[in-house]
Amino acid sequence: MGTKRNIFSQRLTRLAALIIAALAVALFLLYFGQDDQGFSESLIAVLDRHPLIGPVILVLIMVFAVVVSPIPSAPITLAAGAAYGHFWGTIYALVGAEIGALIAFEIARRFARVPTREWISGRSIPVLTSKSQIGLSAMVLLTRLLPAVSFDVVSYAAGLTEIHRRWFAISTLFGMVPATFLLSHAGAGIRASEGGMIDILFALGALGLLTIGGILFNTRRNR
């Protein structure tokens, strides 16, 4: 029974990942393929045109951006804040990023351990340095707090460790909140025009401090 459940779980995970990726690619090509605007501006326009399914579109694109590592997720979070405000924008961005992180985690753990290990071999990933569940969870939480550390790479790298899935999910969720809220807050400030400049400056300043913290952390760790 356990073997059948594992096989079913693997197939379901693979199918879900393929469906989400296909939908995200289709949406990306449909809405952004021939647009001369910037990415965030184009996404905001799409979300405004489709108020009912806008959150779904946003979540799917965020999932795709996390799973396909070179695609940045920050412009999507900015667009989320501009379209839905800093609260709901943060919620939608968190949902998409959490799902994307779990998919990347499962891909590395179940389907592509060797390619993932080769891909991250030349990168400095703090999450790989600990052996205990507490240590691994703490490192995932810490790297999520630091924008200087790649979100996508950590998600894949964590799949190669012994961290339990639930602890990875919890650490990722709580660690994402500060940076996601700040980016969403900045997006909401951009949409608010002149009145939002203070919010934008505050968000950018806080993100800058987090980034500096990430650089200092990596420097200290390397030494």
Report the alpha-carbon distance of residue 147 to residue 131 in Å, rounded.
24
- Smallest CA-to-CA distance from 155 within 202, 106, 204 is with 106
Block means of pLDDT (10 residues each) for the chain, 223 residues, are 58 62 57 56 82 88 82 84 90 94 89 80 63 84 78 88 91 90 80 50 49 55 52
Identify the pLDDT of residue 12: 58
pLDDT at 125: 64
- Reference 108, options 99, 118, 98; nearest CA is 118
Backbone angles phi, psi at 215, to 5 degrees: -65, -45
Sketch the domain layout of the chain as residue ranges.
Answer: 2-222
Question: What are the distances in angstroms from CA 150 to CA 15, 32, 143, 199?
Answer: 26, 25, 8, 25
Nearest to 136 by CA among 109, 171, 106, 110: 171
**Predicted local confidence at residue 216, as pLDDT:** 55
Name the pTM for this structure. Answer: 0.75
CA-closest candidate to residue 175, choices 209, 202, 140:
140
